[in-house]
Chain A
Amino acid sequence: MILSGRGISRGKAEGTVVKVEEPVSFLGDVDPESGKVFDGKKITDSIFVFPGGKGSTVGSYVIYQLKKNKTAPKGMINEKTETIVASGAIISEIPLVDNIDIDLFEEDDEVRIEGKKGIVELMDVEQVDVVTAFLKKDDSILLLKRSDEVKTYKGRWAGVSGYLDMDNPLEQAKTEIEEETKLDGKLLSKGEIVRTREGRKIWNVHPFLFEVDGEPELDWESEEYKWVRPDKIKKMKTVPKLWKAYISARCSDES
C-alpha cells in the first residue's frame, strides 16, 4: 500500500520498521555510539518511525554523528517533522517523509521510502474498504452494538457500517442504512478516509454523516442500539478509530 506524505529529505530507502510512540530528542534520547533510542531499541539500519523531534537543536548534529558512526537509520518517517529532525536528516542524507499516519505502522513491517516524491510504501498489507455512517437525530448520534453473528469486532459499538462492495461509497452507505436500520437518511456530509491497522490488514473507513428521524429497526448484524451525545463516543468500547471517523465526517460538514 502506498501512502503519500511530504518529502522532507531526498533519497530512497528500504528496510524494517523500528517504531517509538513519543517524540524524540536526538540529543539525550539517542546514543550515537550504539544507535539505541531510549536505552532500548536499536534504530541502526532501520526505517525509524516516530511522531517527530523535540529538544535541543544539537539533535541535528547527533543524527549526523549516527550517520558517521554507521549507526544511523536508513530512513525516517514522521507524523510531523520539525526543524531539528529535518535539518539532521538533510545534512546526513537520510530520506525522510512526514505527514504520514504512523498508527498504520507496526514493528518489523517492511517499508520503502521515496524522499523526493514524499511517498512511503508499506509492504504485505491488505487494504479493506468499509463505509461508516453516523446517523444524527437532534443532538444525538446512533450507535449500534455489533452482534455475535458478525465476523469482526463482536460486541463493540459502531456506526452503521459495511464492506464497500460497489464503486460508490455513498450508495453503499445508503444501502447499509436501509438494511441495518430501515431509516431514511438525508446526507449532511462526507469525511476524508480514516485508516486503521489490524494485523496485516488496513481498514479504509469512508465516513458519512446523515440526518434521520424515528427509531431504527435492527437486522442480524446488531444486537442493541443507543442514541448518544457525540462526545460519549470517545468513552465507549467502539470499533477502532470510531471517534476519528466521526470527527472526519463532521468536519467537512462545518467547512
Chain B
Amino acid sequence: MSPVQVRPAAFLGFDLMYLTKEEEKILEGEKGEGPAKAMELLLAIGKIYGADKLIPIKSAQIAGVSYKTMGDAGLQFVQDFAEIANVKVKAMLNPAGMDLTEKNYETDDFRGKQSRLVNAYRQMGIEVTCTCTPYLVGNRPGLDDHLAWSESSAVSFANSVLGARTNREGGPSALMAAVIGKTPNYGLHLKENRKPDVVYEVKDEVPYSLLGYLVGRETRDDIPYFKGFKPSEDDLKTLGAAMAATGSVAIYHVEGVTPEAEDFSTKNLEKIEIEEEDVDGIRKELRTEVRPDVIVIGCPHLSKSEIKELSERLKGKEKKNGPDLYVYTSRRVKEELGEAVAEIERFGKVISDTCMVVSPLEERYDVAATNSGKAAAYLPKLAEQKVIYADLETLLEMIV
C-alpha cells in the first residue's frame, strides 16, 4: 500500500479519527452531496464506537429493503438519495417484502411502493439480489476480508464460517459504506474483539436451530465457542441465524470447523455443557396445541443442497389436505434448480426475493409452523404469528 498522508479531522471534533486527504475532500463535498453525507455518517459512527480510521471493504449487504419495515419514511429517503449517490463496491440487498418476479408495479399500494424502493436501490448500482444468503449466490468473502453487511444471519456466517470481518450494520450505515467503499475500523474488524468468551460443550445430538435459539438467549452478546460436533455448512447457517435472532451473536467459533477457532485459547473460559434436556425446555416453549395454517421453511434462505433434500423427501408423495406450504430461497437458487423446485411446488410455493419475516404474512395467516430457530424468534413480533417449532420431518408429515 502506498503511504497516505493522514491528519486528524480535528475540524469536526473527530479527535480520534484520522482522515486521508481524499476522504477529507469527499467530506467537504468535492465528490458531491451524496458522498459527503455518506462520509459524514461513517465518521459519526466511527466516533461513536471509537474507530481510529476508515478501512476499505470488499462488499456491502444492505438492510432496509422491505417496504413493510421501511414504510414511506424509508422509501422517501432511498428515492431522494438515489439521485445523489452511487455505490463504489459490490453491494447486495436484504430480502424485500414480496417476490419481485413481477416487476415494476405502478400502483400506489404495497407492491407499487415495494417496487419503487427496490428500483431506487438499483439506480444506485446495487445488485437487486434480495437475499439473506449473499454468500450462496456469488458473494462469498474470503478470510480477513472487511465487509459492511447488515442482515444478522449473513453477518454471523461471514464472520464465523468464512472468517471475514463485519460488524452488524444498520441499513443507513451499510448503504453509506457502499457509497464510500469503506467502513469505520472498530468492533469485529479488529482481531482482538473476535476472541471467544464462553465454551459450550455439546454432549448430545440436538437440532441446530434449537441449539442456536438456546445459546443466543443465554449468551446474549458474548462470543460462543462450540465443542463436540461437526456441523455442515447448512447446519452452521441455521445455528448462527438462530443465535443472532435470540441474542446478538455476530460471531462464534466451532472447534475443528470454523477458520479462526484455533487462533484463540479457550483454557480459562467458562464451560457450559449442553444436553438433550436443555433444548427440551425450548421445544416445550415453542409447542402449541393449535393447528398451523401455514408451514414456512427457508429462514435463512435455503441453499441448493437444502432445496434438493426437500424435493427428494417429497418425491413420489401425494399432497394431503393440510396447511399451506411456503418455501423461501434466493432467486438464483430457485432458477438453477428448476426441477427440484417444480417437485416442491406440487405441495406449495417456492418464493424468492423475500421471506416470511419481512413480507406481510399476517394478512393471511395466524399460526405458522417452522423448523427455523430464527423464524421462531421473529415471527411473533414481526408478523403477528403464533409459532410452532418442529423438525423438517414433522413439518412434512403435516402435508403428505
Asked if residues A86 and B64 are in contact (CB atoms below 8 Å), the reply is: no
**A8 located at the interface, meaning its Cβ lies under 8 Å from any Cβ of chain B in the complex:** yes
Interface residues of B (CB under 8 A from A): 11-13, 37, 40-41, 44-45, 47-48, 63-64, 69-74, 76-77, 81, 170-173, 176
CB distance from A62 to the nearest CB of B (A): 5
CB distance from A131 to the nearest CB of B (A): 30
**A90 located at the interface, meaning its Cβ lies under 8 Å from any Cβ of chain B in the complex:** yes
Bound Cα distance A61, B78 (Å): 9
Residues of A within 8 A of B71 (CB): 58, 61
- A-B complex: 5 closest residue pairs judged by Cβ atoms: A65-B73, A118-B13, A87-B172, A61-B73, A61-B74
Bound Cα distance A20, B105 (Å): 42
Bound Cα distance A159, B171 (Å): 50
Q: Which residue of the partner chain B has the closest CB to A63?
A: B73
Question: What are 10 residue pairs bridging A and B, where the CB atoms are less than 8 Å apart in the complex?
Answer: A57-B170, A61-B71, A81-B48, A82-B48, A83-B45, A83-B170, A86-B45, A87-B45, A90-B41, A91-B172
Asked if residues A57 and B63 are in contact (CB atoms below 8 Å), the reply is: yes
Asked if residues A58 and B41 are in contact (CB atoms below 8 Å), the reply is: no
**A116 located at the interface, meaning its Cβ lies under 8 Å from any Cβ of chain B in the complex:** yes
Query: A90 and B40 in contact (CB under 8 A), knowing A7-B13, A60-B171, A61-B70?
Result: yes
Residues of A within 8 A of B13 (CB): 6-7, 116-118
Bound Cα distance A87, B74 (Å): 12
Residues of B within 8 A of A88 (CB): 172
Given A7-B13, A61-B70, A61-B172, 19 more contacts at CB 8 Å?
Answer: A57-B171, A57-B172, A58-B74, A58-B171, A61-B73, A61-B76, A62-B73, A64-B73, A64-B77, A65-B72, A65-B73, A68-B76, A86-B41, A88-B172, A91-B77, A91-B81, A116-B11, A116-B13, A118-B13
Interface size class on chain A is 20 to 34
**A132 located at the interface, meaning its Cβ lies under 8 Å from any Cβ of chain B in the complex:** no
Asked if residues A10 and B76 are in contact (CB atoms below 8 Å), the reply is: no
Asked if residues A7 and B12 are in contact (CB atoms below 8 Å), the reply is: yes
Of A7, A32, A57, A90, which one neighbours B37 at CB under 8 angstroms? A90
Asked if residues B47 and A8 are in contact (CB atoms below 8 Å), the reply is: yes
**A9 located at the interface, meaning its Cβ lies under 8 Å from any Cβ of chain B in the complex:** yes
Asked if residues B44 and A90 are in contact (CB atoms below 8 Å), the reply is: yes
Of B12, B64, B73, which one neighbours A10 at CB under 8 angstroms? B12
Query: A84 and B77 in contact (CB under 8 A), knowing A58-B69, A91-B37, A118-B13?
Result: no
Residues of A within 8 A of B171 (CB): 57-58, 60
Task: Tell me which of A57, A61, A84 has the highest count of chain B C-beta atoms within 10 A of its own C-beta.
Answer: A61
Residues of B within 8 A of A83 (CB): 45, 48, 170, 172-173
Of A61, A64, A65, A91, which one neighbours B41 at CB under 8 angstroms? A91
Residues of B within 8 A of A117 (CB): 13
CB distance from A5 to the nearest CB of B (A): 8
Bound Cα distance A10, B176 (Å): 17
Of A8, A61, A87, which one neighbours B173 at CB under 8 angstroms? A87
Residues of A within 8 A of B170 (CB): 57, 60, 83-84, 87
Bound Cα distance A84, B41 (Å): 11
Per-residue B-contact encoding for A41-71, CB less than 8 Å = 1, 0 else: 0000000000000001110111011001000
Residues of A within 8 A of B45 (CB): 83, 86-87
Q: Which residue of the partner chain A has the closest CB to B71?
A: A58
Task: Tell me which of A82, A90, A117 has the highest count of chain B C-beta atoms within 10 A of its own C-beta.
Answer: A90
CB distance from B354 to the nearest CB of A (A): 17
Bound Cα distance A56, B37 (Å): 21
Bound Cα distance A84, B171 (Å): 10
Bound Cα distance A146, B271 (Å): 55
Asked if residues B64 and A58 are in contact (CB atoms below 8 Å), the reply is: yes
Task: Tell me which of A8, A32, A118 has the highest count of chain B C-beta atoms within 10 A of its own C-beta.
Answer: A8
Bound Cα distance A118, B73 (Å): 28
